[in-house]
């Protein structure tokens, strides 16, 4: 593929930035990929495994001369990074990010973007329960969606960023920040909060029932633990920064949960059966849309003894 950006600077070197670097270098989408992380240990690991072409020891060094700067740090850290790097940005460069919330990023990072620099927030809907510089892989974005928030940037520059994400294998959509934050509250933020809660409840009980919760987890619970093993700092920032939409969806969730709880208490089997039948259709939709496998148990490779 053709080079899309001459120099790309990745700020933060975790799962997403690492996967971006590996994907861009695999396909030659950038002439040079440089990276910076605040932690010296992360920078040392990134050097050791050659995660990017060049690891920089300062934020200023990383962004100087970069045509695209991608903020890949927790949402709560973005404002400080943006303020610090602003004086070193190249005129005409594009700043983007990969944060899971978009309204708060626009509100906090936006004001620090200098005149003449493009700001195009982005969110790749991809990830795993692993984090850190060793967790990335080039295929992470393949067949996953990345959402761009054009927010008034030049159409040419939006098209360029879109081409980069498409080059990394993603499907790209554009929408406004508020809509993004509501959709993600449903498809990601609230499910994560609920999974964290269920695992927390089980952890309390585990102290009573010893190791039984772990031993018998295959009956459903283990799927929750995968989600609840995600990076705590990232998720703290998601909830603090998508407060309104998350609280709204949580309100709907508890309302429906109480209705089902009441049906259990009163023995209303018809209500339960109708509810459980309706939700099967969504699963079929997701499989037809190519967003998951139809294989039982996700086709877990460890399911069968070898």
Q: Which of residues 235-264 bind a second copy (CB under 8 A)?
A: 235-237, 239-240, 243, 246-247, 249-250, 252-254, 256-257, 260-261, 263-264
Residues 135 and 13: their CA atoms lie apart, in Å, by: 10
In the complex with a second copy, the residue whose CB is nearer, 91 or 280, is 280
Q: In angstroms, what is the minimal distance from the CB of 149 to a second copy?
A: 14
Contact between 207 and a second copy by CB under 8 A: the answer reads no
Query: Please, what is the minimum distance in Å from the beta carbon of residue 81 to a second copy?
Result: 18
d(CA 153, CA 119): 6
Residues 31 to 90 in contact with a second copy, rule: CB under 8 A: 76
Which residues within the stretch 95-114 sit at the binding site for a second copy (CB under 8 A)?
100
Kindly indicate which of the ranges 24-32, 88-96, 149-157, 200-208 contains the residues binding a second copy, using the contact rule CB under 8 A: 200-208
Residue of the chain from 6, 48, 176, 223 that contacts a second copy (CB under 8 A): 223
Least distance CB 55 / a second copy (angstroms): 24
Q: With respect to a second copy, which residue has the nearer C-beta, 91 or 220?
A: 220
Check residue 172 for interaction with a second copy (CB under 8 A): no
Query: 95: part of which helix (H) or strand (E)?
Result: strand 94-97
Minimum distance from CB of 74 to a second copy (Å)? 11
Q: Which among 66, 72, 63 is positioned nearest to 7, based on CA atoms?
A: 66
Which of 56, 126, 150, 151 is the binder for a second copy (CB under 8 A)? 126
Write the DSSP string, 166-229.
HHTT-EEEE--HHHHHHHHIIIIIHHHHHHHHHHHHHHHHHHHHTTHHHHTGGGTHHHHHHHTT
Q: Phi and psi dihedrals of 151, rounded to 5?
A: 35, 45
Q: Is 187 in the site for a second copy (CB under 8 A)?
A: yes
CA distances to 39, 65, 194, 292 from 85, in Å:
17, 12, 36, 39
Closer CB to a second copy, residue 94 or residue 230? 230
Q: Tell me: does residue 195 bind a second copy (CB under 8 A).
A: yes
DSSP reduced 3-state for 151: coil
**198 near a second copy, rule: CB under 8 A:** yes
Q: Which is nearer to a second copy, 43 or 162 (CB)?
A: 162
Measured distance CA(71)–CA(112) in Å, rounded: 13
Asked if 299 touches a second copy (CB under 8 A), the answer is yes
Among 134, 144, 151, 163, binds a second copy (CB under 8 A): 144
Min dist CB 154 to a second copy, Å, is 26
C-alpha R_g of the chain: 21
**Strands of the 5-11 sheet, one edge to the other:** 54-55, 30-36, 5-11, 68-71, 94-97, 118-119
Instruction: Count the site residues for a second copy by CB under 8 A.
Output: 117
Nearest to 138 by CA among 24, 301, 245, 46: 24
Q: Which is nearer to a second copy, 45 or 118 (CB)?
A: 45
* Strand, coil or helix: 29: coil
């Amino acid at each position: 593929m053709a080079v899309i950006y001459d120099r790309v600077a990745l700020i933060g070197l975790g799962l997403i930035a690492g996967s971006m670097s590996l994907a861009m270098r695999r396909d030659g989408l950038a002439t040079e990929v440089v990276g910076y992380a605040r932690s010296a240990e992360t920078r040392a690991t990134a050097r050791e495994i050659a995660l990017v072409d060049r690891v920089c020891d300062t934020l200023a060094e990383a962004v100087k001369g970069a045509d695209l700067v991608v903020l890949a740090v927790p949402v709560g850290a973005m404002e400080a990074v943006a303020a610090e790097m602003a004086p070193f940005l190249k005129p005409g460069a594009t700043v983007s990010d990969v944060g899971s919330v978009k309204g708060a990023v626009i509100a906090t990072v936006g004001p620090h973007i200098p005149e003449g620099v493009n700001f195009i927030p982005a969110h790749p809907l991809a990830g795993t329960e692993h984090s850190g510089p060793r967790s990335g892989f080039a295929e992470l974005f393949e067949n996953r969606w990345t959402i761009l928030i054009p927010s008034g940037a030049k159409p040419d520059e939006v098209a360029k960023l879109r081409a980069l994400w498409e080059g990394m294998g993603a499907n790209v959509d554009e929408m406004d920040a508020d809509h993004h934050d509501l959709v993600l509250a449903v498809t990601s933020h609230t499910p994560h909060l609920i999974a964290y809660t269920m695992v927390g409840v089980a952890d309390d009980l585990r102290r009573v029932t010893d190791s039984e919760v772990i031993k018998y987890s295959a009956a459903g619970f283990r799927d929750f633990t995968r989600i609840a093993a995600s990076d705590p700092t990232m998720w703290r920032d998601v909830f603090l920064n998508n407060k309104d939409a998350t609280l709204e969806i949580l309100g709907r969730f508890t309302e429906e949960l109480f209705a089902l709880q009441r049906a259990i208490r009163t023995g209303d089997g018809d209500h339960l059966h109708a509810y459980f039948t309706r939700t099967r259709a969504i699963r079929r939709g997701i499989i037809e849309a190519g967003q998951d496998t139809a294989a039982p148990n996700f086709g877990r490779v460890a399911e069968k003894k070898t």
